[in-house]
Structure 1
Amino acid sequence: MNEKEITLEINGREYRVKIHRFSADVAEISVDDQMYRVGLKDLGVEEVAYVKPTPAPRGPQATAPKTSLTAKPEPALHRPAVVSDGSAIKSPLPGLILKILVKEGDIVKAGQPVMIIEAMKMENEVNATADGMVIDIRYKEGDSVNQGDTLILLKPVEA
């Protein structure tokens, strides 16, 4: 998707919004030149197709491309909220991810701390909700999350 710029009016104030990247579960936008990563919920879309950019026209009428030729956009991925035979660790509150305490492939026990989220200047531990193996970590340190966002997917492991 090419960048799209729109103007939103919220409570009588106008905001200039640029949509840089949009997939089924996340959008990267800037509001008045401040970048945000926004989690998207219940859009009724399971997967947004990746559209390959078309080459710029050549010749005297061609203009300089708006995006860097070295930066390649990440393809949109379908990331289910839960795995049919597993469970998800969801964010208990909105905040900023300070530290991720596990990595993919780790075995965790219910109640084990897996992440630290800062909310209202306080650090909050996020604990595993079930025993299992970490199969997907959805965010990285420094990302903002909303309450209910799926942070980590677990797959049950045989004892």
Structure 2
Amino acid sequence: MKKFKFTISGDEYDVHLQDIEENIATIEVNGTKYEVEVKREIKASKTPKLVRKPVVQQPGEGQIKKSQSSGVAIKAPLPGTILKINVAVGDEVKEGQNLLVMEAMKMENQVLAEKAGQVSAIKVKEGDAVLQDDVLIEIS
């Protein structure tokens, strides 16, 4: 905060005023920290002091969880509505095969398989509204 140099009885002192809270000042004198009481009138603050409880994290909170799926998730390229689903669970699909048709931005878009495999789950049904990157179909 502020730095001062004092000479007391011929001895020099480097004083760093770090913080003052109410009538307690935290200072550092020649590298040693002290908390000292300041004799002064404490002004009442009109601004309330924000007091928060410490944040306690639950076990596992804040850790990235990897999905255990070994397959490919086909995601919506744009927000839109599912018009037609061309496959069923258990169907074998080839890379580039048309899986479903969705309407986005007043155009029909073909959603294609990114790799060959078997359809393990269909996460949407005809008429569903989806957002970009929503999982539509899983292929294993």
1:111 aligns to what?
96
**TM-score normalised by the chain length of structure 2:** 0.51
Q: Secondary structure at the match of 1:93?
A: coil
Cα gap change, 1:91/1:110 in structure 2, threshold over 3 Å: closer, same or farther?
Answer: same
**5+ residue gaps in structure 1?**
1-43, 45-80
Cα gap change, 1:137/1:82 in structure 2, threshold over 3 Å: closer, same or farther?
Answer: farther
Greater strand percent: which structure? 2
Cα gap change, 1:123/1:151 in structure 2, threshold over 3 Å: closer, same or farther?
Answer: same
**TM-score normalised by the chain length of structure 1:** 0.45
Q: Secondary structure at the match of 2:73?
A: strand
1:140 aligns with 2:140: no
2:112 corresponds to which of 127, 134, 138: 127
Once residues 122 and 129 of structure 2 are traced to their aligned partners in structure 1, the CA distance between those partners, rounded to angstroms, is 14
Which structure has the larger Rg over C-alpha atoms? Answer: 2
Aligned-pair identity (%): 55
Shift of 1:85: 1.9
Shift of 1:145: 0.5
1:99 corresponds to which of 53, 68, 84: 84
- AA at the equivalent of 1:109: K
Shift of 1:110: 1.1
Q: Which runs of 4+ in 1 moved over 3 A?
A: none
**5+ residue gaps in structure 2?**
1-61
Calculate the aligned-residue CA RMSD, in Å: 1.8
| Number of positions where the alignment pairs a residue of Structure 1 with one of Structure 2 | 76
